[in-house]
Amino acid sequence: MPSTMPSTALMSVSASPDNPFASRTWHVAVYLAEALSLAPSQYELRSMLSSARQPLGTTISPRSAGGEGSVCCGRMAHFVVNINNTEQALRARLNITSGAVRAVYLKAGSAPVYPDDVDGPNCLGTCAVTWYVSYDRYTGLRRFASANTSVVPTGGNLPDLRVAGEWYVSVQDMGLHERTDFELVIDAVTPPVPAAFVICDRYGRFDCANDIWTVPPDLYSSAVSRASPTPLALSAALLLIAARLSSWLGTRATSRRAREGRCGRSEYHG
């Protein structure tokens, strides 16, 4: 019996549900080609489900290499990782081996929904998006990136979106080919901390090992002023302290003599 498929074929489907962990029923159907005879056809069918939950630091191999890196039909493939440290920023490095990708989404708490979660070039909520499709400024023709890196913003010109919990890494197919295969590396990075936030107070107002509190502005200013004192600044500071101490001692002595004089006048009766 002739066949339009090879003797061994690997097929996969993609879906973009709001909750990839919900229970679902899948129906697998086999359609045979038009029979030229009444001879029976024999085949072996094996099916499995791939888990959306992945450990941090994992590498998703492309389907052509026997992995789960595949998406089709304009849908999304979701992968979920857990971030325990609020200082870490989720990072996804995508390399497309075949097909075309519209975008990669990094969203906290729930799966992204297209186009509901898209507002212009941005993604709504605690979400970051990297677009893989662009348009030529002169011809208007679409161009597709074959690789890129997506990182959750950590501040600066963009808001700091780092939060602990479950993060969804979603790869969206462009829908131009039969399917899109890709390699995806999911990990986290810790950005360098600005120098202003690592200054500690030796008197115990701020503990460097404590990642909850922040340095008070007045403490930071005084710490900076104490960081590199010049000889002239030290001399001026010592003279100021000496002057204030002398003034304070003089005031104390004058007050004591005044009290003693008042007491003497009250006890003298002539």
Go through the chain and tell me how many residues it has.
270
CA-nearest of 7, 3, 50, 47 to 27 is: 47
At 200, the pLDDT band (50, 70, 90 cuts) reads: low
Angle ∠(106,111,117) on CA atoms, nearest 5: 75
Burial class (CB in 10 A: 0-12, 13-18, 19+), 254: exposed
The CA distances from residue 227 to 48, 201, 219, in Å, are 62, 12, 12
Q: Which domains does the chain have, with CATH numbers?
A: 58-189 (2.60.120), 193-246 (no CATH)
pLDDT band at 2 (very low <50, low <70, confident <90, very high): very low
Question: Which of the pair, 206 or 98, is modelled with greater confidence?
Answer: 98
Higher pLDDT, 224 or 39: 39
Place of tokens 């450990």: 55
Rounded to an integer, the average pLDDT of 114-142 is: 92
pLDDT at residue number 267:
42
Q: How far apart are the first and last CA of the chain?
A: 143
What is the model's pLDDT at position 45? Answer: 82
Q: What is the pTM of this model?
A: 0.65
